[in-house]
Chain A
Amino acid sequence: MNPVETQTFRTERQNARRENWHLLRRKAGFIIGVFIVAIWTVCAIFGSRLAPRDPARDLDVKNLSPRRSHWFGTDIIGRDVLSRVIAGARNVLLIAPVAAMLSIIAGAILGLMMGYFRGVVDMILSRIVETFLALPVVLVGLLALVIFGSSRVVVIGVVATLFTPIVTRTVRSAVLAEADLDYVTSARLRGESSLFIMFREILPNVSAPIVVEFTVRVGYAIFTVASLSFLGVGVATGSPDWGSSIADHYRLMNDNIWWSTLFPALAITSLVIAVNLIADSIQAVYDR
């Protein structure tokens, strides 16, 4: 394959990308998803400045039911639940995309190597990948909490590490399909280095499944981060994080105090659904 051909290849890809984008914008699911994510992102960035009251410091009587002064009621020590739901977006929206991105980077590198070199490298890595797949995320998260202490970094590390094998598998099978194609063979014949072939030749051609995988992983990361913070991993004391808010309040439902649990739960629900709508739309467009 000569450089001119590579050039046309690239323009074709750009065109395809443009067309995909055009299609995406017309999908209702995508628009709704982006809209919801955007709202939560704004909440995550501006947090307490958007909130009607200070989510941490403004105390009223505890466990007030929803009313004019507190639309979502007050929590176990008298803070405004609405304000805390708004401020609580930050934790999950910081951790989940970062963790997903890290797992994508690591998984792409590993997957490329496994798919490209195959043989022994592939076999050993496959075994390790399979071991990781057998680990329940929450179990490992709890263990990591005990060993490394409870912090955001640990949560990001755990989620990224546990997602990497899954990404690796996806990328590997995509690479396997590409590795025998002409352009790879000719690049080899040209004497290009393996690194060049993997990252400049193959990677661009498997970018579609990687993008899809990323959006899907973000959804799962939100799921996982929320579950871990519900179990008490990686959140600062008194953090308005949704998962830990639920953990702090779900027992109060016994006493019919439901608002401090319901609203964070709805927040998580809306965010995961939105992210999945986006992921689903992107996948549909690529699968076309």
Chain B
Amino acid sequence: MDHVENRAVDGLIASQLNGRLTRRQLATGVLALPAITALIAACGSDKAKTTSTTGATTAPGADTTLTGATPTTVASETTLAAASGGNLIVAMDLPGGPFDPVGMYDLVAYGLVAQCFEFLCSLGDNSDIGPGLATEWSSNADATEWTFKLREGVKWQKGGDFTADDVAATMDRLVEGGNSGLGGIISKGSVTAPDPLTAVIKLDKAVGLFPYLVSVFNAQTVITPKDWALGNTLDKNPDGTGPWILESLDPTTSAKFKKNPDYWGGPPPLDSVEFQFFPDTDTQVTALQGGNVDVVMQFQASTGTSLFSDSSVDVSVLRAATHRQLWMRCDTGQFADKKVRQALALSLDRDVLISTLFDGKADLGNDHVIAPIYPYFDKTQPQRTRDIAKAKSLLTDAGFPNGLEATLYAGDLQEIKQLAQLVAVQAADAGFKLTASVVDNGSFYGKYWCPAEPKDPPCSGAAEIGIVDYGHRATPDVFLNAAIKTHGVWNSSQYSSAELDTAFEAFQAAPEADDAGRAAAAKNIQKIMNEDVPVCIPYFYNYLSATSKKVSGAQTSALGQIFLAKASKA
């Protein structure tokens, strides 16, 4: 894999996170995009530079590595005849920010904006990209210039034809507004239009899978009209090329859309769609069961148990790399000795955690970030299981024969409050007297996880021990780069190991085709992390969403977007 591109990709993920590490997003759990796997997997592949003409073809090389989100149960496609008309209701979290296509940063805004505005590259099959406003695309040999053929006969809702000028203006706005994915890749004026239905984008550097950066997986890249002003919002300037026309939007209750009869893809079967906002996911579950809504974008296993046995609901379970890191300071304090950290890891009963918190809907963690869904995951590594005797003897060896006392900090998010309490209870058997302190997320990140001061090295003001959430990533690069690597920006454990840094480098440097080399490096990372335990990772949990069986033809992404142009409701 090309190093420069890799960094660009990683930068994409990291900067996206930087830009929108908001409470809302964290609450939604999944931050990154399944298709990035495809992007990284295909990096450097010749085929990646060829044209994708039909929506059905997935990116070359993607099929084998598209493990970012593997559906184990998929909503039954269409057993019901697609009925026409009706109103579909989707339950979502409360919006957290403006509905500004360029400046938005929360998943609810992504979801709503994507109803009206469309991407050059839309969501295709198998969670990959497919043709959207662009019907096909290709690049020059070194992937520095990309040509997008635009769809004919696309009209703006407010009037006028969609042309390459709109694309050019949108890209300029994205540069001006500081898009996290396109920063350093395109500059102002990078788009030229040889004819109204062709947009040529000249990149500042080679990016092998540039289309992903102007797709649903970079949510802010929706194409807005030429005369759209930076800072305009969907609620005040409803427009778009999409299947739905905004009728009303009240950020405290709901957004309503009616169908666009002139949609280029044909008028949607449904008459209207409505997005209702809820302050918590548990209520959304109730609303779905009560028939008040038709879709719940994401819910938690522990409070949505009844959905699994509900015959009127399809639950989709996506295995993912979403996990929690129980970090322990390696540089100073009571956990500096790795025997103490191992003892804590040994005191946890992971099966109980998974059954209590997720009703079993999670994979076991083995204190390293190589999630079981990654193809290079080493299955042969022995799983760490609960061993109180061994934990006690390790603690005694480390000079804590009577155990130790510490405060375990965490932010109040999803199951973390219960996790913190369970960890405190389980670790007590080995002699750890942990006091769980779960505070609101804002204070948690600012005070206990990575306080702004002291700045150097990053996170050196972190608490001795705590629990932090990590969203799904299609590759473990960000986890390693930010949380585990020496002086990583989110390295709250202050772990610093030359051995691990070398292993990570080897992992990143492995060429795309070198599966064996990557697997060997990953195996090494697993071994080092499991031995040193800078962070204890008890589980990787599944992404859950639910749809009423009455609904068919709806497509969702992990970024809060749901595509309903072909959806219908019985």
Query: Touching in the complex, A and B, CB below 8 A?
Result: yes
Residues of chain A touching chain B, judged by Cβ–Cβ distance below 8 Å, are 56-57, 59, 62, 76-78, 149-150, 232, 236-238, 248, 251-252, 254-255
- Chain B nearest CB from A88 CB (Å) reads 15
Residues of chain B contacted by A149 (CB below 8 angstroms): 443
Please determine whether A78 and B303 come into contact, CB atoms closer than 8 angstroms: no
A-B contact pairs, 10 of them (CB 8 A): A59-B425, A236-B435, A237-B417, A237-B421, A237-B436, A238-B421, A248-B417, A254-B286, A254-B303, A254-B306
Q: Per a CB cutoff under 8 Å, which of B306, B352, B437 touches A237?
A: B437
Residues of chain B contacted by A251 (CB below 8 angstroms): 280, 282-283, 303
How many chain B residues sit at the interface, stated as a range, is 20 to 34
Residues of chain B contacted by A236 (CB below 8 angstroms): 435, 437
Residue of B417, B421, B437 most packed against chain A (CB within 10 A)? B421
Residue of A56, A77, A248 most packed against chain B (CB within 10 A)? A77
CA distance A56 to B434 in the complex (A): 12
Query: Is B420 in contact with chain A by the CB < 8 A criterion?
Result: yes
Residues of chain A contacted by B283 (CB below 8 angstroms): 251
Contact flag A57-B437 (CB < 8 Å), given A254-B282, A255-B306: no
Q: Per a CB cutoff under 8 Å, which of B280, B356, B438 touches A78?
A: B356
CA distance A56 to B422 in the complex (A): 10
Residue of A149, A248, A255 most packed against chain B (CB within 10 A)? A255
Residues of chain B contacted by A56 (CB below 8 angstroms): 425
Of chain B, the residue at the smallest CB distance from A59 is B425
Residues of chain B contacted by A76 (CB below 8 angstroms): 302, 418
Please determine whether A237 and B282 come into contact, CB atoms closer than 8 angstroms: no
Please determine whether B425 and A252 come into contact, CB atoms closer than 8 angstroms: no
Query: Is B439 in contact with chain A by the CB < 8 A criterion?
Result: yes
Of chain B, the residue at the smallest CB distance from A63 is B305
CA distance A76 to B425 in the complex (A): 14
Please name 4 further chain A to chain B contacts, defined as beta carbons within 8 Å, in addition to the given A56-B425, A238-B424, sorted by A numbering.
A77-B356, A77-B421, A254-B303, A254-B306
Query: Is B285 in contact with chain A by the CB < 8 A criterion?
Result: yes
Q: Per a CB cutoff under 8 Å, which of B418, B428, B435 touches A77?
A: B418
Of chain A, the residue at the smallest CB distance from B302 is A76
CA distance A203 to B228 in the complex (A): 72
Residues of chain A contacted by B435 (CB below 8 angstroms): 236
- Chain A nearest CB from B74 CB (Å) reads 25
- Chain B nearest CB from A94 CB (Å) reads 18
Residues of chain A contacted by B285 (CB below 8 angstroms): 254
Of chain A, the residue at the smallest CB distance from B439 is A150
Contact flag A57-B425 (CB < 8 Å), given A62-B356, A237-B420: yes
B279-317 contact mask (Cβ, 8 Å, vs A): 1 or 0: 010110110010000000000001101100000000000
Q: Per a CB cutoff under 8 Å, which of B289, B303, B305, B436 touches A238?
A: B436
Majority SS of interface residues in chain B? helix
Please determine whether B305 and A255 come into contact, CB atoms closer than 8 angstroms: yes
B352-369 contact mask (Cβ, 8 Å, vs A): 1 or 0: 100010000000000000
- Chain A nearest CB from B303 CB (Å) reads 6
Residues of chain B touching chain A, judged by Cβ–Cβ distance below 8 Å, are 280, 282-283, 285-286, 289, 302-303, 305-306, 352, 356, 412, 417-418, 420-422, 424-425, 428, 435-439, 443
Q: Per a CB cutoff under 8 Å, which of A77, A232, A252 touches B422?
A: A77
- Chain A nearest CB from B350 CB (Å) reads 14
- Chain A nearest CB from B451 CB (Å) reads 15
- Chain A nearest CB from B23 CB (Å) reads 14
CA distance A76 to B421 in the complex (A): 11
- Chain B nearest CB from A261 CB (Å) reads 13
Residue of A56, A232, A251 most packed against chain B (CB within 10 A)? A251
- Chain A nearest CB from B434 CB (Å) reads 11
CA distance A77 to B420 in the complex (A): 11
- Chain B nearest CB from A240 CB (Å) reads 11
Residues of chain A contacted by B305 (CB below 8 angstroms): 255
- Chain B nearest CB from A83 CB (Å) reads 13
CA distance A189 to B422 in the complex (A): 70
CA distance A232 to B441 in the complex (A): 13
Residue of A76, A150, A237, A255 most packed against chain B (CB within 10 A)? A237
CA distance A238 to B410 in the complex (A): 12
- Chain B nearest CB from A42 CB (Å) reads 26
Residues of chain A contacted by B356 (CB below 8 angstroms): 62, 77-78
CA distance A92 to B417 in the complex (A): 22
CA distance A251 to B421 in the complex (A): 19
Residue of A56, A57, A62, A248 most packed against chain B (CB within 10 A)? A62
- Chain A nearest CB from B302 CB (Å) reads 7
Please determine whether B422 and A237 come into contact, CB atoms closer than 8 angstroms: no
Residues of chain A contacted by B352 (CB below 8 angstroms): 59
Q: Per a CB cutoff under 8 Å, which of B303, B424, B439, B443 touches A255?
A: B303
Of chain B, the residue at the smallest CB distance from A54 is B425
Which 9 pairs from chain A and chain B are nearest by CB?
A251-B282, A237-B438, A238-B421, A237-B436, A254-B286, A255-B306, A77-B418, A62-B356, A57-B425
Residues of chain A contacted by B289 (CB below 8 angstroms): 254
Residues of chain A contacted by B422 (CB below 8 angstroms): 59, 77
- Chain B nearest CB from A56 CB (Å) reads 7
Residues of chain A contacted by B303 (CB below 8 angstroms): 251-252, 254-255
CA distance A53 to B438 in the complex (A): 24
CA distance A237 to B283 in the complex (A): 23
- Chain A nearest CB from B104 CB (Å) reads 25
Of chain A, the residue at the smallest CB distance from B287 is A254
- Chain B nearest CB from A150 CB (Å) reads 7
CA distance A232 to B289 in the complex (A): 27
CA distance A62 to B357 in the complex (A): 9
Residues of chain B contacted by A62 (CB below 8 angstroms): 356
CA distance A252 to B303 in the complex (A): 6
CA distance A209 to B422 in the complex (A): 49
Of chain B, the residue at the smallest CB distance from A77 is B418
- Chain B nearest CB from A149 CB (Å) reads 8
CA distance A236 to B280 in the complex (A): 22
Of chain B, the residue at the smallest CB distance from A248 is B417
CA distance A236 to B409 in the complex (A): 12
CA distance A150 to B443 in the complex (A): 11
Of chain A, the residue at the smallest CB distance from B436 is A237
CA distance A57 to B425 in the complex (A): 5
